[in-house]
Amino acid sequence: MADAIQLSGVTRAFQDHIVIRDISFTVEENSVVGLIGGNGSGKTTLLELMTGVLSPTLGSVKVRLSGTDLRSVYSNRHEAKKYFGFSLQSPSFYPTLTVAENIEYFASLHGMDDTSTEAYRAELLNRLELKGTLQTAAHRLSGGMKKRLDIACATVHQPRYIFLDEPASDLDPELRSTVWNVISWFAENGATVVFSTHYVQDLQVFTDRVGILEDGQLRRMQSPRDLEAMADSTVKVQLTVSGDAEFVRSAISERWRVVNKNKRIVVETDDTVELMKVLRDSNALNHIESIDTRSEGLDSLIYE
C-alpha cells in the first residue's frame, strides 16, 4: 500500500524545551498505528503535529489529501480538516446539547446532510453504543459515554484520516473492547487510523504497527508480532500463602529472586513450568492458596 502520512525529522520545541525530537516514520493507507509510551513521552504533541494543530520546529509532516502528492499538513491544515477526524483527551462536544444535536452540529460543519450520511451515522452510533442516548444532554452522560460521543463527533463526516488521543482511557475492559472494535471498523471502511494509548496488551489484537515513544523520541516502530518477539519473557508469579510462608520462600529462593509481601510471595521467572515443579516436589504447594501470573510482555519495552 502507498504511504498516506510521512514524518521526516520532526522536532518540536517549546521555548528551550524539546518535546518531540527527530521523529521519522510513515503510515500506510488504510492501516492502524498505535502510539504508546509513559506519561510525558510526547504522544499528544505528536498527534497534534500530525493533524496540523502544531507546526514542527524542524522537519515536516506530510499527508496525501486530494491527488497523489504528499503535502505539508500544517501548510494545508484548512483543507486537511475535510479529510481529518481528531478526538482529544478533553471532550470537544457541547455539554448542553443532546447527543443527537451534537452529532447533527458536527456533521453540518463538514457540509454533511442527513441523507448522505444517514446509514454511516446510524452504524457509527450503534457500534459506539450511543443509540439509546440520543435525546440525553451530553453533560448527563457517564464518563465512558462522553468519550464515545467525542469519537462520534470527530468521525461523523466519515473522514479519511482518524486521530484519537487515548480513546480508551478510563474505560472498563468491556468498553475498551467496544472502542477497539470501532477502530477496526474504521479501517475496514477505508480510513487510516493513528491513536495513542497506554493499554499495551490490547494493541496486539488489531494494530498493524506500534510506535513506542520515550522522552519525545521514537524508540521503535514495528509490528506487534515483532515487538512481542523482542519483549521480556519474564513472568511475575504471585503466590498467596495459606500456610507456612517461610517454608514456601525457602523452597524457591535459591533458584529465583523472591519478594515477600506478608502472605504474598512474588517470584520473577521465565520458566513457570520449572517453578511449579519445584513447588510440587518440595510440598510447598500444600501451603499455597492461589497462584496468579502476569506477563510483562510489551510493558518491558516501554518501561524498561
Model pLDDT for residues 224-239, shown as the tens digit of each residue: 877 766 655 567 788 8
Residue 62 lies in a domain: yes
- 177, 205, 230 — which closes off a domain? 230
Residue 282 corresponds to which amino acid? S
Q: What is the 3-state secondary structure (H, E, C) of 195-264?
A: EEECCCCCHHHHCCEEEEEECCEEEEEECHHHHHHHCEEEEEEEEEECCCHHHHHHHHCCCCCEEEECCE
Residue 18 CB burial class (10 angstroms; 0-12, 13-18, ≥19) = middle
Residue in this structure with the C-alpha cell 502472605, named with its chain if needed? 263
Is 31 or 112 the better-scoring residue by pLDDT?
31
Note whether 71 and 124 are same-domain residues.
no
Q: What does the pLDDT read at residue 168?
A: 87
Residue 53 has pLDDT above 70, yes or no: yes
| Closest listed residue to residue 161, CA positions, set 36, 61, 11 | 61
Query: If you average pLDDT over every residue of the chain, what do you get?
Result: 88
Cell of 124: 457509527
- 230, 258, 280 — which closes off a domain? 230
Angle ∠(93,176,27) on CA atoms, nearest 5: 80
- 184, 207, 230 — which closes off a domain? 230
Radius of gyration of the CA atoms of the chain, in A: 23
Note whether 74 and 178 are same-domain residues.
yes
N-to-C CA span, the chain: 33
Residue in this structure with the C-alpha cell 525457602, named with its chain if needed? 250
Q: What does the pLDDT read at residue 87?
A: 95
| Closest listed residue to residue 185, CA positions, set 234, 303, 177 | 177
- Name the band, by pLDDT with cuts 50, 70 and 90, for residue 99: very high
Residue 265 lies in a domain: yes
Residue 196 lies in a domain: yes
- Name the band, by pLDDT with cuts 50, 70 and 90, for residue 140: very high
Query: On the CB side of 164, how many CA atoms lie within 13 Å of its CA?
Result: 30
Note whether 197 and 268 are same-domain residues.
no
Note whether 153 and 163 are same-domain residues.
no
Residue 73 has pLDDT above 80, yes or no: yes
The percentage of the chain sitting over the pLDDT mark of 90, rounded to a whole number, equals 53
Residue 185 corresponds to which amino acid? W
pLDDT digits (tens, 9 = 90+) for 105-136: 999 888 876 666 788 999 999 999 999 999 99
Note whether 71 and 172 are same-domain residues.
yes
Residue 241 has pLDDT above 70, yes or no: yes
**116, 106 Cβ separation under 8 angstroms:** no
Q: Which domain holds residue 188?
A: 3-83+159-230
Which is it for the CA torsion 218, 224, 227, 228, positive or negative? Answer: positive
| Bridge partners, 238 (sequence order) | 266, 292
Average pLDDT of 87-112?
Answer: 91
Is 99 or 291 the better-scoring residue by pLDDT?
99
Residue 57 has pLDDT above 90, yes or no: yes
For the question of whether the overall pTM of this predicted structure is more than 0.95, the answer is no
Residue 51 lies in a domain: yes
Residue 90 lies in a domain: no
- Name the band, by pLDDT with cuts 50, 70 and 90, for residue 304: very low
